[in-house]
Amino acid sequence: MQTIQRYRRALLSALVGLSLGASAQEAWPSKPIRLVVPFTPGGVTDTSGRLIAEHLSKRLGQQVVIDNKPGASGNIGTSLVAQATPDGYTLVLGFDGTLVINPHVFAKVPFDTLKDFAPVGKIGDAVLILVANPGVPARSLPEVIALSKSQSGGLSYGTSGTGGTPHIAGELLAQRTGAQLTHVPYKGGGQAMTDVLGGSIPLVYTAVAGAHGHVKSGKLRAIAVSSAQRTPALPDVPTFMESGVSDFVVNSWVGLLAPAKTPASVVQRLNTELNAVLSDPLVKDKLQTLGIDASAGTPEQFGEQLKRDLGRYGQVVKAANIRLE
């Protein structure tokens, strides 16, 4: 009899535990959620994160709080989330430069992109553009490539820094076409833009948002955009593929990730709410002003892009021998 009673008590305890665990999971979220942005406040990545956090807060019924943790090209803040408890209350705003380029250009990064994170969903793509000072005697991509091959030392192009997506895009262009291009890294895109406007450098590879006004005013000449289709922001500017470089799509992207082993139900709820936010016309318009095209999708689709970009950017970095300490 005592054995039966002990069995009943153990069974009851187990059932209660399962019930409490299910209730706790169903109750998520029951407290504020921390969204780590691994960059300083004010940039495009940070601003897009704050926009998403604001609207996710409304849908989840809990505040999504931005926590800026800049440093080491995004590695510091990103690694904090890789090591966080996988309970759905700590997320990271993932950036392509940090997650799929840094692992190749740094001798060591404190996280494994594919093993340490559970992809939630991509927020969107920032289209890149190659622009030239109007004094450059080339009006199209084929002419830029030909000019670079005809001049001693080739042509220099500025970007916001070594190892960023624009730098990788420039190296890939050189590798794919034989263009003689020399990278000039700046500490941010603003100074690069100042120098190309002043004629100190002939070309700049940057995000459309940073060059849009200057192209519209005629102060810069648009050569091509790196997206699969023309961007609505500059519909008259051809893509690289239209300009003769096949399969050339290099967008900068931003998305949400959680620590690995975060419950699948939590990841799916986050993805559902994120996609709902991205379908809001107001949110889409605000992202567009930041140069980001909203891109709703599944966690699996985002995970596949992480794998794909890690592989192809690794090849570009190795061929160009790009290294950062």
Contact 188, 195 (CB under 8 A): no
**Same domain for 35 and 98:** yes
Rounded mean pLDDT, 75-99: 97
Total structural domains within the chain: 2
Which residues form the domain of 274? 31-125+252-320
**Same domain for 265 and 120:** yes
Q: End-to-end CA distance of the chain: give it in Å, rounded.
A: 69
Query: Residue 120: is it exposed, middle or buried by C-beta count within 10 angstroms (0-12/13-18/19+)?
Result: buried
Interval 252-263: pLDDT, tens: 999 999 999 999
**Same domain for 294 and 156:** no
Tell me which of 7-16, 173-182, 235-244, 290-299 is least confident.
7-16
Would residue 242 count as lying in a domain?
no
Query: Is 3 a residue whose pLDDT tops 60?
Result: no
Would residue 19 count as lying in a domain?
no
Would residue 44 count as lying in a domain?
yes
Q: List the CATH number of the domain containing 50.
A: 3.40.190.150
Domain endpoint, select from 178, 206, 225: 225
How many whole angstroms separate alpha carbon 244 and alpha carbon 296?
A: 29
Structural tokens at position 89: 């209350």
Give 323 or 219, the one with higher predicted confidence. Answer: 219
Structural tokens at position 92: 């990271």
Q: What is the pTM of this model?
A: 0.83
pLDDT at residue 2, rounded to an integer: 52
Q: List the CATH number of the domain containing 187.
A: 3.40.190.10
Would residue 135 count as lying in a domain?
yes
**Same domain for 168 and 207:** yes
Would residue 7 count as lying in a domain?
no
pLDDT at residue 315, rounded to an integer: 93
pLDDT at residue 11, rounded to an integer: 52
- Helix 281-289 to helix 264-278 angle, to the nearest 10 degrees? 80
Query: Is 188 a residue whose pLDDT tops 90?
Result: no
Rounded mean pLDDT, 195-200: 96
Would residue 183 count as lying in a domain?
yes
Would residue 8 count as lying in a domain?
no
Interval 26-70: pLDDT, tens: 589 999 999 999 998 988 889 999 999 999 999 999 999 999 999
Would residue 15 count as lying in a domain?
no
**Same domain for 194 and 112:** no
Contact 296, 275 (CB under 8 A): yes
**Same domain for 110 and 144:** no
pLDDT at residue 21, rounded to an integer: 45
**Same domain for 162 and 133:** yes
